[in-house]
Amino acid sequence: MKLEIKDLRVSYGGIRALKGVNLTVDEGSIVTLIGANGAGKSTTLRAISGLLKPEDGQITYNGESMAGLPAKEIVKRGVVMVPEGRRVFPDMTVRENLLIGAYLRSDRAGIDKDLKYVMELFPRLSERTWQLAGTLSGGEQQMLAVGRALMAKPKLLMMDEPSLGLAPLVVKDIFSIIRRVNQDGITVLLIEQNANASLRVADYGYVLETGSIVLEGQGRALLENPSIQEAYLGHRKSAMPTSGKASSEGRPGKHGRRYEVSMNSD
């Protein structure tokens, strides 16, 4: 159950947003895609989810091509996205929002079981099942958006900036939930601007810059990489070289340098 993306290109009306993205998400792992505003993170997720038609490239899941499939078929295969900006249905209750997540399923017993799982995962939601989603706090709405995606029974859960705009304590909650669902067997592809938290939780990370992957490596190794620290973690440039350890496999891309980063110590 591996997700593999090769040479993914997406354009919006002639303007290329993804210029040949390659990334792999192994079963059972947490992989993060980080990058600044406009880098193409959401575009990548929308293309995987079938909401955008790629111009070129391959998206395979479990060895089967998904590029060009309708979004519904992709959800049926277990690849489910939590969209950017929460997007809950404000005039529906918490419970109704959750059940919408299960709209492609007909296994009643399984749906009930997953509803219990979500309630256990998010006690705040279980206290508010009859509350209208539009009246929930921002953090609660984000939990509901994650809960709704879980109700689709994902094998691969993709989250688009789940921590955006949330207070530090709630961010902590969201990241511990990400760890927990991963431990429960769900593979995670996490998009974040919060590079620090996401690289800490991730097994592997990719850095996207204006539509190209410019850096990749183990989460911890990226965290210690000086160019990441400077660009994404707000650390000042030191006397150290700013580049990652360029391995012999790191091939220079058309739009910039590409490095493979490895951990040199633990």
Residue 37 binding result from ligand ATP, Mg ion, none, given CB thresholds of 5 to 8 Å by partner type: ligand ATP
Instruction: Kindly tell me which residue out of 42, 187, 194, 227 binds Mg ion, with binding defined by CB under 5 A.
Output: 42
Nearer Cβ to ligand ATP, position 35 or 205? 35
Asked whether the beta carbons of 59 and 66 are under 8 A apart, the reply is yes
Angle at 12 between CA 74 and CA 155, to 5 degrees: 20
Count of residues interacting with Mg ion (CB under 5 A): 3
Distance CA 8, CA 248 (A): 24
Near Mg ion by CB under 5 A, which window of 83-91, 168-176, 197-205, 213-221?
A: 83-91
Q: Of 79-87, 115-123, 148-156, 214-222, which segment contacts Mg ion by CB under 5 A?
A: 79-87
Is residue 187 within 8 Å of residue 25, measured between CB atoms? Answer: yes
Find the binding residues for Mg ion in span 167-206 (CB under 5 A). none
In a 10 Å sphere around its CB, with 0-12 CB exposed, 13-18 middle and 19+ buried, how is residue 84 labelled? middle
Closest distance of CB 52 from ligand ATP, Å: 8
- Measured distance CA(211)–CA(207) in Å, rounded: 10
User: Among ligand ATP, Mg ion, none, what does residue 39 contact (CB within 5–8 Å per kind)?
Assistant: ligand ATP
Which residues contact ligand ATP by CB under 6 A? 12, 17, 35, 37-43, 84, 193
Beta-carbon contacts of residue 183 (< 8 Å; ≥ 6 apart): none
Residue 163 as a binder of Mg ion (CB under 5 A): the answer is no
Least separation in angstroms between residue 76's CB and ligand ATP is 25
Determine the interface stretch with Mg ion among 18-26, 77-85, 147-155, 216-224 (rule: CB under 5 A): 77-85
* Residue 212 sits in the site that holds Mg ion (CB under 5 A): no
Positive or negative CA dihedral for 90, 91, 93, 99? Answer: negative
Can you list the alpha helix ranges (DSSP code H) found in the chain? 41-48, 71-76, 94-100, 108-121, 123-126, 138-150, 168-183, 195-201, 219-223, 226-232
Kindly state the smallest distance separating residue 84's Cβ from Mg ion, in Å.
5
Give the residues lining the site for Mg ion (CB under 5 A). Answer: 41-42, 84
